[in-house]
Amino acid sequence: MIRTKNLSDSIINAKPPTSRKGTKSSGTGKSKNQGKEPEPFDFGDIFFMNDESDIASPGEDPDSLFLKKIVDEIPLVPPSELFNMIGDMGYKGQNEARKSVSLMAYRHVRRLKRIYVDGESRENVGKKNNLLLMGPTGCGKTFLIETLFSGILQLPTVIVDITPFSETGYVGQDPNNILTRMYHTANRDERLARIGIIALDEFDKLASSQNNAVFAGAGTTKDITGLGVQRELLKMLESSEVNVPVELTHSSYVETVNLQTADIAFVAVGAFSGFNAILNRYHKGSISGFNRDIESRKKLYDDHSIAISWTPEDVENVAYFQSYGFLPELVARFGRIIPFAALDRETMYQILEDNILSIIRKEFAVEGIKLEVGEDVIEHIVKLALKRETGARGLNSLIFRYLEDKAFDLFGVAQTAKLTAFMDGEKISSKVE
């Protein structure tokens, strides 16, 4: 974890003021300069905050020196190694998406080092990389962000549910509070907050077509249907300086700090339910201006299906997102739109066996119970999850649903026991030995 020097520690550990010429006491207890006007007191003796080695020389920016030291300590891991490290930490599947996000993470760190360590100009380095991750629920979008940026690179990382926010806090939270959370994650140091990662979860809920908010005076007062928040996000996603409250509050009388967003990478995450219908409208040629003969040959999706795997070509046109309810200029601020595939049977099996059942077995072992689950049971659970189209998110609830009755009877009272889950025809049963 990146740590910053505590200002209060610097004050407490500050050296006492040194003696000055003309103030040294003589053996008689009287000053040799008694009767002379005392010299002006040097406040630098009280308020020196750093060791001499940390003090910036004239003309040097202390903030730049601080960031140079911090950024220099961030590991620069090749994308291929990041890809493997994510897998070692339990992430399964999504190879193409994982490659793209690993490359983005490497480019983000490399860009920071070129700016703050190597001293290159921003014109030569280019702008930051923002990503938009879209895919069905439970396919590992948010988990990938947590694993890579917070777990491996240990950058200041904030995952924010975007749904409570509204324009200027009219109803809900002010979008600037997104940066307030980054400020707190960075130990209340605006310099450290400049190089973090902000994940905007449930990003698709900002689409005006997906927001059914109804309020008195609709159309004549401030917009709270999502477009207002989209406009507020425009300046954050670009290189700008935002006045950020230091506390999460609706009060106008709160201390603020100026936070630069030029080096904060934004990753938007959303399931984009209903996006299939937009694609089908374009693919069928029902949108004016499209050639029906060409578009009719494109693949069509089930409008109501959830576990859909989109292709990069399906999500590359900004017009699709505009029809969905997004400002085109907001979508254009994401340099890369990465579709996540619906999890297949093999990946779901690995997640259930290696990630979920291993934890459940340890929980039962703590209670003195040895848990055994047959492969046919695992296959059946995966089949149910695929049918429900909930991805990996539904696996834990599905498997434990068939174990909770026995867990209710055994937890806290069993000294030692063996619980076996097995298939009884088309039904999962369990027995205690």
Hey, what are 85's tokens? 């490290």
pLDDT at 90: 86
Hey, what are 274's tokens? 């209903």
Domains of the chain: 68-270 (3.40.50.300), 345-432 (1.10.8.60)
Distance CA 234, CA 418 (A): 57
CA distances (Å), 64 to each of 53, 115, 236, 260, in order?
15, 10, 21, 13
- Sign of the Cα torsion 373, 95, 236, 230 reads negative
Q: Is 286 exposed, middle or buried (0-12, 13-18, 19+ CB in 10 A)?
A: exposed
pLDDT at 381: 92
Which residue bears the tokens 């007191």?
41
Q: State the pTM of this model.
A: 0.75
Helix (H) or strand (E) holding 428: strand 427-432
Residues 6+ apart with CB under 8 A from 190: 183, 244, 257, 258, 259
Hey, what are 150's tokens? 């917070």
Distance CA 136, CA 390 (A): 8
pLDDT at 167: 54
How wide is the angle at C-alpha 191 spanned by C-alphas 189 and 196, nearest 5°?
Answer: 90
Q: Say how many residues make up the chain.
A: 433
- Spans of the chain below 50 pLDDT: 1-33, 41-56, 59, 168-170, 211-224, 287-297
Residues 6+ apart with CB under 8 A from 107: 129
pLDDT at 72: 92
Query: How far is CA 413 from its chain centroid?
Result: 41
- DSSP assignments along 10-56, one per residue: HHHTPPPPPP-TT--B-TTSSBTTTTSPPPPP-GGGTS--S-GGGSP
Q: Is 315 exposed, middle or buried (0-12, 13-18, 19+ CB in 10 A)?
A: buried
Per-residue pLDDT of 276-327, as tens digits, reads: 888 888 877 654 444 444 444 466 776 666 777 888 888 888 999 999 999 9
pLDDT at 107: 94
Asked if 230 and 206 count as a contact pair (C-beta separation under 8 A), the reply is: yes
